[in-house]
Structure 1
């Protein structure tokens, strides 16, 4: 009985982890892309620098989402709380 409760709680926690891990970087990526487009519109000659910085920052933001996925997968498949 206790093992099934732990399993159910782990699945719920995994869902919450993925959800929360996707919200923050999703908002951040939207803001970054919008600001990059605005910056390119203001200074078209700086497009290469802006694009490079944007891609690097998007990669770092995406890494945060992947960390949330790793936590969720470890809760589901390699659960440290189950006996």
Structure 2
């Protein structure tokens, strides 16, 4: 699997950049999000149990705009 950079939080400082990547999987569309690991006890309690092979991350809304932009561009190509 390969990952293609879509964009990073423009407000982040160097080395602290929530980022979104698209993968080239052929069986389904997936994305890789780099963000801040969620450690807040209340947020973790609200979400509930997380399997050992998964983690929760927090990313700014601005980073999700890169997904929306890509999604809209692909829709135009259809």
TM-score relative to the length of structure 1:
0.28
Q: Which has the higher contact order (CA 8 A, sep 6+)?
A: 1
Which protein is richer in helix relative to its size? 1
Which protein is richer in strand relative to its size? 2
TM-score relative to the length of structure 2:
0.29
